[in-house]
Each structure stands twice: as C-alpha cells, then as structure tokens.
Amino acid sequence: MGVLQVLSFLGGIALFLYGMSIMGSGLVKLSGSKLQRILEKLTSNIYMGVLLGLAVTAVIQSSSATTVMVVGFVNSGIMKLTQAVGVIFGANIGTTVTAFILSLGDLSGTSLLLQLLKPASLAPLLCTFGLILFLTQKIGRKHDLGQILLGFGILFIGMNTMESAVHPLRDSEVFIKLMTAVSNPFLGVAVGAIFTAIIQSSSASVGILQALSTTGIVRFNSAAPVILGQNIGTCVTALISSVGANRDAKRAAMIHLYFNLIGTAIFIIILYGLKPIFQYPFWDSTLNRTSIAIFHLTFKVSSTLLLLPFNKLLVKLATLTIKDKAKTKDGEANLLDERFLQTPSLALDKSYEVVKQMGRIAISNFKLAQELIVSYDPKKAATLREQEDMLDKKEVLLDDYLVRLTNRSLTSSESASISDLLHITNDFERIGDYTMNILEMTEQMEENSISFSEQAMQEATQILSAVDEILQTTYNCFENYDAKVALNVEPLEQVIDIMQEYLKNSHIERLKSGICSVDSGMHFVDLITNLERIADHCSNIAVIVIQRANNTRKAFDFHSYIRALHEGNTQEYNTNFKAYHDKYMAGLLEH
C-alpha cells in the first residue's frame, strides 16, 4: 500500500466521519426536542424504554449521543437510574442501522432501481439534492433535510474512497498477516476497543471495517473480536460525559459499559470456548458489508435479550462500583446539564423550565413582600432574602448556559428562543430586585417604628392587588406561551401607571393635611415606584410572548406596539382596560 493509497484511505475516513457528523447534526435538528421529550416521559416501563432507546438512536444515528443524553437526564433528576437501563439497551440496538445502510453496496442486479441504490450512484444524487435544499432553504425543516442528505452523500463518498484505497490490500502479505493476528480474541477486542475509543463512534468504526471487507480477505474469525471490541470502545463517550456528574449519572454510564463488557464476554465464551465442540462452519468464511452488519446486530440483540431479565442486577453492579456517599443538603436537580448543550432543542427546553422556576420564585417573593407590608415578620423576611439569592444564582447560571448555547449549531428559531429567554430571565430577576427594595423598605420602617396611615395602607393594598394580578397573569402567559392571556397584561399595566400617578397626588394631599408623616411618605413613594416598575417588566415579558406567537421577531417594534395599544387602536385592549380600571381605580376613588 503506497503513500498515495494511505493518504486516500485517511481522506476517505475524514470524509466518512465528517459526513456522519453533519448527518447526525441534521437529524437532531429535524427531530427537534420531541424525541427527547418522549424519551424523558415514557420510560417508566423497561420494555418501553428499550423501544424508545432503539427508536431515538435509529433516528439520530448515534448510541453515544443517546447515552450521553440519558446520563444528562439522570444527572438532572429527570430520569431514574432504573429507567435509564432500558433506554441504554435500546440505544445499543439502534446504532446498528448505519451498518445496514452502508451495506447497500452489496446489492446485486441490473435493474435501474438497484443500480441507483448502490453508494456509487446514490452518493452524487444525495449530495446534489442535499446541497440544493441546504443552500436554497436557509432555515426550517427543508434546510435540515438538505443537511441530512448532504451528510449521507459525503458519508457514502468517504466509504467509496476507503474501499478504493484498500482494494490493493487483497494481495498484501502484511495485511493478510495483520488480519490473522486480530483473530486472536484478546488482541482483536483490544484493537476494536482502542480504535473506537479514539474516534468515539462504533458506527464509524464498523463502517471502516466494512470498507476493509471489500478486499475479500476479512474472515469471520478476525472480524468478530474486532466488532466486539468496537462495542466496548464506544462506551468511552458516555464515561467521559459522566465526569463531574452525580453518582446515578456515573452509574448510568457504567451500565452502558457493563452491558457491552458482559455481552462481549458471553460471545467470546460461546465463539471460542465452544468452538472445539461445534466446529462452526462459518469460522473461516469471508465476510462482506452485509454479513458484518448482521453480526453486529446479532451481538446487540442477543446481549439485550440475555441481560434484560437481569437489568436490576446491572443496576446493583453499577451501584457497587459507584458507591453512595453521605447525602448533602444540595439536592436540587440541575436542569442546566452540560450534556444537554449537545442537543440545543433539549437545552432550550431545560432552560425554559429554569426560567419558569424563576417566575415562580418571583411570585412567591412578591406575596411575602405583600405580607411584610401588612405585618413585618423576620422569618418571612429571611425566607424572601434566601429565595432572592436563589433567583440571582439561577439568572447567572442561566445567562452563562444560554450564551454557551449560542456557540452551537442553531436554527433561526432556536437563536430567537435564546434571545427571548435571556430577556425574560432579566425581567424576572429585575422583578426580584424591586421586590427586595420593598423588603428593605419594610425593614427600615420596622427598625424606626414607622407605619403607614390607614388611608395609605388601603391605597397600598389596592395597588398591591393589581400588581399581584399582573404578575400571575404574566407568569401564566409565559408558562404556555399563550398570546391570548398576554393581551391582558398591557391594559392592566396601563391601569397601574394611572394608579401610581393618582396615589402620588393623593399622598401629597395627605402630607399637606398632616395625615401622613414625611418619613412614612418617603417609603410610600418608594413602594408605589417599585410596584410600577415590576408592572413594566411584566409588560416586557407579555410583549415577547405576543411577538413569538405572531412570529414577528424581525419586524416587531416594541415601542410602536405599546403606543398603538395606548392610543386605543384595538377593541380588545379598550375592553380589558375598562375592566381593570373599574376593578382597581373604583376602589381607590371610594376612599
């Protein structure tokens, strides 16, 4: 094998791996987060877990990606370790699909259809149609489909390049000796495991072996141990991803390793231990691409059938390997798992869950602040401070997570969603800050024995109720991205603006008449100012929900939209405004 052939072979590997990479990326984008959500929610039954793991891996063409995803689910507390077992088993079967696709080269026949299905003919067609879709459709499912077809085409071209480069090896004494050497089960397993660990893809590793089989000198006794080793080597990706994860996540990665180690050990015993008894007729037979794919599938399915009844023992084995430690107080599930960044749609789903947590904390804090205004309680004040610290930490973590997510390959919709979540995160955090201002106000009033007059307290209660409603309405519209609910926010925000102005004037009159002191008056003004600003941030969130629902991100002008509403250009706005005005301003005017 000359220098040019070596370079051609290496180039073929590069094209093969690159094609597999962009194809996998396109498949993940096209499937979106639906498969991940199904995987997350429907794995309570181990048999269902096997089927779902198989289906997801068959679609995204990577057992490593599925297993890493499972490690992330377990680490974040979304999936239990016992649920993960079935998915891992299924993922191991699903990864064999690639090998059968690469076996199309073994098709024989003279019909036009069979000729078109051969990689040599199929690759140019896939690349052509894929490139047209990829370049002409800048966003959307057609763009992703183009990426998938282009990836498949490049993968087949890489396969053909490797096959052409290794063709002369059929007459090479060195290569024949090498294939004889790897028929040693331990050496063969080691070679397969090490090579696959380096390229981190058993599908790619098996594909390269399929390319070598076109030389006509790859026999069963040399290919079998290499394939078994390849399935061990692919576990490296999940093991690496579990570094820094919690114990159950590490155990999930170990179950993946044990599945392939035990399966390999069983096959080695059957193939080599029982060979003297059965004298396998296929032992020295030459393998082609299809027979390699069939053996790969046989190993995976047999291992699953053998180990599935003992899934609980595998969990115990993993638990013995990664032992429990003393429990710590930090039991909060980490939804922002690093592993989810590999699947942007999934990372966005988890980020959305964290923003919802922030919204719930902001509402809880505001209700505590309301209670503190009526009657100061140091325990409630401490709880509010603790929750505000939690809110701030979530904002910092989420901002960093979303910024890192922007470095991934994203669709335009995903990029827009990141921008939306960053803005909403900031709004909820600012709502928390203004609530803290109210807390500090109540603490100062408590320390200095200052209290509001009866009339001031009645007015404060009225605007507090309005802000409590706008906060809850804002959270409800964000939780389900419900534009209809969001349309209620801006009219109420406008009423709160009017209430603020009215209350300031009312307060000035009380100061003039001596009903309120200057000290209590300063705190009253601070209170209604902070409440009005909370309402402003609620308005910001509602507008994002509306523009998302109307898909008007590019052409949307926030200020023009607000101005149009306030000028009474919509009947719905006028109706809602009147309802809120009657509800809250009427109560103030009565006093």
What would the 3-class secondary structure string for 333-344 be?
CCCCCHHHHHCH
Q: Which domain holds residue 518?
A: 344-590
**Which CATH number belongs to the domain containing residue 542 in this structure?**
1.20.58.220
Q: Is residue 331 part of a domain?
A: no
Same domain, 225 and 156: yes
What is the spatial distance between Cα 515 and Cα 365, in angstroms, rounded to a whole number? 30
Q: Whole-model pTM? A: 0.67
**Given a cut of 90, is residue 536 above it in pLDDT?**
yes
- Residues 145-171 pLDDT 10s: 898 899 888 988 988 888 788 777 776
Residue that has been written with the tokens 């069963």 in this structure: 220
Q: Is residue 503 part of a domain?
A: yes
What is the spatial distance between Cα 233 and Cα 547, in angstroms, rounded to a whole number? 48
What is the spatial distance between Cα 545 and Cα 542, in angstroms, rounded to a whole number? 5
Could you tell me the two tokens for 240?
């690496």
Do residues 427 and 540 touch, judged by C-beta distance below 8 A? yes
The amino acid sitting at 307 is L
**Given a cut of 70, is residue 563 above it in pLDDT?**
no
Same domain, 293 and 390: no
Residue that has been written with the tokens 């390999």 in this structure: 264
Q: Which of 107-111, 320-324, 516-520 has the highest mean pLDDT?
A: 320-324
Same domain, 196 and 123: yes
C-alpha dihedral (118, 121, 122, 128), degrees to nearest 10: 180
Do residues 357 and 393 touch, judged by C-beta distance below 8 A? no
342-381 in b/e burial notation, b at 16+ Cβ within 10 A? bbbbbbbbbbbebbebbbebbbebbbbbbebbeebeeebb
End-to-end CA distance of the chain: 97
Tell me what pLDDT residue 169 has.
Answer: 75
Same domain, 385 and 417: yes
Same domain, 352 and 317: no
What is the spatial distance between Cα 138 and Cα 541, in angstroms, rounded to a whole number? 29
CA-closest candidate to residue 531, choices 470, 457, 450, 440 = 470
Same domain, 301 and 370: no
Could you tell me the two tokens for 44?
């309570």
Do residues 63 and 95 touch, judged by C-beta distance below 8 A? yes
Q: Is residue 328 part of a domain?
A: no
Could you tell me the two tokens for 137?
């459709």
- Residues 181-205 pLDDT 10s: 888 999 999 999 999 898 878 888 8
Beta-ladder partners of 228: none
Phi-psi region of 460 (alpha: psi -120 to 50; beta: other; left: phi over 0): alpha
Tell me what pLDDT residue 280 has.
Answer: 87
Could you tell me the two tokens for 431?
């709502």
Q: Is residue 335 part of a domain?
A: no
Same domain, 254 and 119: yes
Same domain, 361 and 409: yes
- How many beta carbons lie within 10 A of that of residue 505, not counting itself? 9
What is the spatial distance between Cα 393 and Cα 336, in angstroms, rounded to a whole number? 12
Same domain, 353 and 300: no
Tell me what pLDDT residue 276 has.
Answer: 85
Do residues 76 and 333 touch, judged by C-beta distance below 8 A? yes
- Residues 210-236 pLDDT 10s: 888 888 888 999 999 999 999 999 898
The percent of residues in the chain predicted with pLDDT above 70, rounded, is 89
Q: Is residue 236 part of a domain?
A: yes
Tell me what pLDDT residue 331 has.
Answer: 38
Same domain, 294 and 360: no
Same domain, 276 and 137: yes
Number of domains composing the chain: 2
Tell me what pLDDT residue 326 has.
Answer: 47
Mean pLDDT of the chain: 85
Beta-ladder partners of 219: 286
What is the spatial distance between Cα 127 and Cα 190, in angstroms, rounded to a whole number? 36
Same domain, 366 and 459: yes
Do residues 230 and 196 touch, judged by C-beta distance below 8 A? yes
Tell me what pLDDT residue 529 has.
Answer: 94
Q: Is residue 297 part of a domain?
A: yes
Could you tell me the two tokens for 536?
């402003």
Q: Is residue 333 part of a domain?
A: no
Tell me what pLDDT residue 438 has.
Answer: 94
Q: Which residue has the higher pLDDT, 305 or 504?
A: 305
| Domain boundary residue, one of 321, 355, 374 | 321
What is the spatial distance between Cα 35 and Cα 242, in angstroms, rounded to a whole number? 22
